[in-house]
Amino acid sequence: MTPEEEQRRLAAQRRNARVVAILLGAFVILMFAVSIAKIGMQHR
């Protein structure tokens, strides 16, 4: 693999890692919101 190809590979990995991080963050927020909603529904 040439240095340019290596750089492109690293850039693609970084892009994907950023997307996965955002999705994981969104999942944590969603699970928190679902838990709060479920607790609220039980107390109704």
Partner 1 sequence: MTTETIALPADWRDFLALTKPRVMTLVVFTGLCGMLAAPGTVNPVIGFTAILCIALGAGAAGALNQWYEADLDAKMRRTAARPLPAGRMDRQSALHFGVGLGAFSVLLMGLAANVLAAGILAVSILFYVLVYTVWLKPRTPQNIVIGGAAGAFPPLIGWAAATGGLAPLPLLLFALVFLWTPPHFWALALFVKTDYANAGIPMLPVVAGERATRTQIGLYTIPMAVAAIAPWPLKLTGAIHGAVAIVATAWFALLAVRVATRSTREGDTMRPEKQLFGFSIVYLFVLFGAVVVDRWLA
Looking at the Cβ atoms of 25 and 34, the one nearer to partner 1 is: 34
Separation of alpha carbons 44 and 33, rounded Å: 17
> Quick check: 4 binds partner 1 (CB under 8 A)?
no
> Quick check: 24 binds partner 1 (CB under 8 A)?
no
Q: Name which position in 3, 4, 5, 39 contacts partner 1 (CB under 8 A).
A: 5
Contacts of 1 (CB under 8 A, 6+ apart): 9
| Residues contributing to the site for partner 1 (CB under 8 A) | 1, 5, 8-9, 12-13, 15-16, 19, 30, 33-34, 36-38, 40-41
